[in-house]
């Protein structure tokens, strides 16, 4: 399975259920990586999407402990075990965990690849991604596009991490 996220210098991913930055090139990258694939997210991430609706052209799976949660156009799993059973029908490389913090933390050990847009700025934040630079079982590898990118005054890099 894959993880995909945009993080700041401190591996922050959000503030008040919103992304820290909206970078068009990062949004295009996210779309190109996940279209036609399976995306796994928590309820709060779903609520943060435009209109609180599932992402188009993807199989949307929501992991939520709320047993009453039903979302049109989504499969809702109520436990990690239920999620694992649901994901068995898909090739692992076609699955992308897209947030938020609790979902990343809960599923990082099930993943082998992480696509990280690293933003060279510190933001006020209340949600974080696990810092893969501090974890011995993850390493950053060259991803073909290690160049510095800019969007107005934001500097960012596309990074790929793999589990050792």
**pLDDT tens by residue, 72-105:** 999 999 999 999 999 999 999 999 999 999 999 9
Q: How many CA atoms lie within 13 A of 27 on its CB side?
A: 9
The tens-digit pLDDT sequence of the chain (164 residues) is 999 999 999 999 999 999 999 999 999 999 999 999 999 999 999 999 999 999 999 999 999 999 999 999 999 999 999 999 999 999 999 999 999 999 999 999 999 999 999 999 999 999 999 999 999 999 999 766 668 999 999 999 999 999 99
Q: Which of 20, 37, 24 is nearest to 125 (CA)?
A: 20
pTM: 0.95
Q: How far apart are CA 31 and CA 105, in angstroms?
A: 22
- Classify 2-163 by CATH class: alpha beta
Q: How far apart are CA 33 and CA 57, in angstroms?
A: 12
């Amino acid at each position: 399975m894959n993880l995909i996220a945009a993080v700041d210098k401190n591996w922050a991913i959000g503030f008040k259920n919103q992304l820290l930055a909206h970078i068009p090139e990062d949004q295009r990258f996210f779309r190109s990586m996940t279209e036609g694939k399976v995306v796994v997210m928590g309820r709060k991430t779903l609520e943060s999407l435009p209109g609180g609706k599932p992402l188009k052209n993807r199989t949307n799976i929501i992991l939520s402990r709320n047993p009453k949660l039903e979302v049109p156009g989504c499969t809702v799993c109520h436990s990690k075990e239920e999620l694992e059973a649901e994901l068995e029908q898909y090739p692992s490389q076609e699955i992308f965990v897209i947030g938020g913090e609790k979902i990343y933390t809960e599923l990082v050990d099930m993943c082998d690849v992480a696509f990280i847009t690293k933003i060279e700025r510190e933001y006020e934040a209340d949600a974080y991604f696990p810092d893969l630079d501090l974890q011995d079982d993850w390493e950053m590898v060259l991803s073909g596009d290690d160049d510095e990118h800019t969007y107005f005054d934001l500097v960012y890099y596309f990074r790929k991490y793999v589990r050792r």
